[in-house]
Amino acid sequence: MCGCSTHHTQASQTVERHPDALTLRVEDMTCGHCAGTIKKAIETGLPGTNVEADPASKLVSVRGSTDLTSIKALVTEAGYTPTAA
């Protein structure tokens, strides 16, 4: 979890569950900064992926990869705790 002070000021987007996307729950994603960190980690680690992260719903949706193990590892390396959604 990040230490920024923007937890209550960040707008969120609704992450919808796409049939071709992997969706994870990240309970310690608390703000837009956290969402951006997770999005960047996955998209950098797995080029060609498209990530949507919503701190309000705690959901991260990943399209373009079916490698759940790698996605979870990237989120964990970024400092967050992914679980099945």
58 near 52, Cβ under 8 Å?
A: no
DSSP reduced 3-state for 22: strand
Global pTM?
0.82
Domain ranges of the chain: 22-84
Instruction: Report CA torsion sign: 84, 73, 29, 16.
Output: negative
| Residue 38, pLDDT above cutoff 70 | yes
Please give the pLDDT value at position 20: 82
| Confidence bin at 47 (pLDDT 50/70/90) | very high
pLDDT higher than 50, residue 12 = no
The CATH architecture one would assign to domain 22-84 is 2-Layer Sandwich (3.30)
CB atoms within 10 A of CB 84: 9
